[in-house]
Amino acid sequence: MEKDCRDSISAEMLPEPFVDSTRAAEFLGLKPRRVLEMARAGQIPAYPLGKGERRTWRFRLTEICKAITARR
């Protein structure tokens, strides 16, 4: 029986999944629009996908948490 390569990787080694602005907004207690504004302004860590004005943004909640707590 062939072993799947994912079986040998522990959950701790897997990268945190990206979330959309809706999920990031729930985490921060903000509206998704505000989260996107903050991302565009560089106030929170974010990953833009695509080019032009209509980018899709993705976030990692642990990075947002670290950025917010570092400001205190």
pLDDT tens for residues 33-65?
999 999 999 999 999 999 887 889 999 999 999
59 CB-near residues (< 8 Å, 6+ apart): 18, 19, 20, 21, 23, 24, 35, 39, 44, 45, 46, 47
Work out the pLDDT band at 71, boundaries 50, 70, 90.
confident
Q: Map out the domains of the chain as residue ranges.
A: 16-70
Tokens 């602005």, residue?
21
- Interval 6-31 mean pLDDT: 82
Query: Could you tell me which residues are beta bridge partners of residue 57?
Result: 48
- CB 23 within 8 Å of CB 64: no
